[in-house]
Amino acid sequence: MTHMPARYALVDTELGGQRIIRGEPLNLGLAAANTDPRIHTNDPEREIGNRSHLGFSAGPHQCPARTPARLIARFAVEQALHGLPRITLGVPADAVTSSPSSWMRHLESLPVTFAPASNTAPDSSVR
Model confidence pLDDT, tens digit, residues 27-36: 877 666 666 6
**6-31 in b/e burial notation, b at 16+ Cβ within 10 A?**
eeeeeeeeeeeeeebeeeeeeeeeee
- Rounded to whole angstroms, the Cα distance separating 1 from 28 reads 10
State the greatest distance between any 2 C-alpha atoms of the chain, in Å, as a whole number.
Answer: 68
Least confident of 4-8, 13-17, 41-45, 54-58: 54-58
- Rounded to whole angstroms, the Cα distance separating 68 from 46 reads 15
Contacts of 4 (CB under 8 A, 6+ apart): 27, 28, 30
pLDDT, tens only, 75-86: 998 998 888 888
Mean pLDDT of 21-42: 75
Q: Is the pLDDT of residue 49 over 60?
A: no
Question: Does residue 27 contact residue 3 with C-beta atoms inside 8 Å?
Answer: yes
Q: Is the pLDDT of residue 20 over 80?
A: yes
Look at residue 127 in the predicted model and tell me its pLDDT.
43
Q: Is the pLDDT of residue 26 over 70?
A: yes
Question: Does residue 73 contact residue 66 with C-beta atoms inside 8 Å?
Answer: no
Look at residue 2 in the predicted model and tell me its pLDDT.
61
- Three-state SS at 69: helix
Q: Is the pLDDT of residue 123 over 60?
A: no
| Higher-pLDDT residue of 81, 92 | 92
